[in-house]
Amino acid sequence: MANILIAGCGDLGAGLAIDLVAQGHHVTGIRRTGKEFPVGVKGITGNLVDMKGDDLPDADVVFLIVTPNGRNEAAYRAAYFDTAQALIRRYQTVEKSPKVFFVSSTSVYGQSQGEWIDDTTTAEPKSATAKVLIEAEQALASVFQSVAVRCSGIYGAGRFRLLEKVEREDDWGPNSWTNRIHRDDVVSALVGLARLALTDSSLPEHIIVTDQTPVSMWEVKLWLATHLDAKVAVSNINDFNPSAGKRIQGQYLLSQGWTPRYPSYVSGYKPLLREYRNEN
């Protein structure tokens, strides 16, 4: 069995840890705050950037799964680039470097005129935050066998922001393309990637994790509004055709046998709506 480090044992990391422990692996998890870790996980609480080399265990596989404290360049640099550098400092000189999976974002694809994006598309980051993600990806790839796991918009249990906006009847704004992936499907994708890494399979430098069903934002909001008894909050019907965004599909994971449990927003939001109603 393998030694696996999950640097960022929050919601996604904890879900991944549970499955890896069940498979018999030795799992260490790090989180910035809190001391609650899944059963069987060796937990470390603290900021990865401040840790000394001896604080981090030897590892065959490392998952870097962090969340920024804000949506600006400084917050992204602290969360992603600085933590990547901490891993590099710890593991770049070991006899056998770990395989590293960095949970990144499809925001690195700056294309925004309805283009189709897949695993072979060249990233064209436009925003400062997306450029930081690319910097972190490249820093890790320069030292390790690493894979940038580029996820589209993650939703799932407890993530009610869009539902709240629709129920408040906030203006929908111009229509655009949107791409999503359920939290549980991200976890299953990461579990599958761990399996591939531990069988010494050849892995690409980056992959896309998405539900394969790009859709217009108005379609999603209309479906939610219908189920929440909310009004259609459209101020300009001429904005009906999506005027921005991209349409994303990823083929690599499918080629390896992965299939999303929630292949569209409809299947994914049904249980989320039930949870939302029970809490409100």
Token reading at 100? 């590293």
pLDDT of residue 177: 97
What distance separates the 2 farthest-apart alpha carbons in the chain? 61
What range defines the domain where residue 52 resides?
A: 3-158+182-212+246-265
* pLDDT attached to residue 20: 98
Q: Is residue 190 part of a domain?
A: yes
Q: Please give the share of the chain, as a percent, with pLDDT higher than 70.
A: 100
CATH of the domain at 23: 3.40.50.720
- Cα angle 13-17-20, degrees, rounded to a multiple of 5: 140
- pLDDT digit string, tens, across residues 50-105: 998 889 999 999 999 999 999 999 999 999 999 999 999 999 999 999 999 999 99
Closest CA to 98 of 134, 64, 48: 64
**Domain presence at residue 218:** no
pLDDT in tens, 240-268: 899 899 999 999 999 999 999 999 999 99
Residue 240 falls within a domain, yes or no?
A: no
* Domains held by the chain: number: 1
pTM: 0.96
Q: What percent of the chain has pLDDT over 90?
A: 93
10 Å CB burial of residue 125 (0-12, 13-18, 19+) is: middle
Average pLDDT for 146-153 = 98
**Is 133 inside a domain boundary?**
yes
Q: Say how far apart CA 192 and CA 14 lie, in whole Å.
A: 15
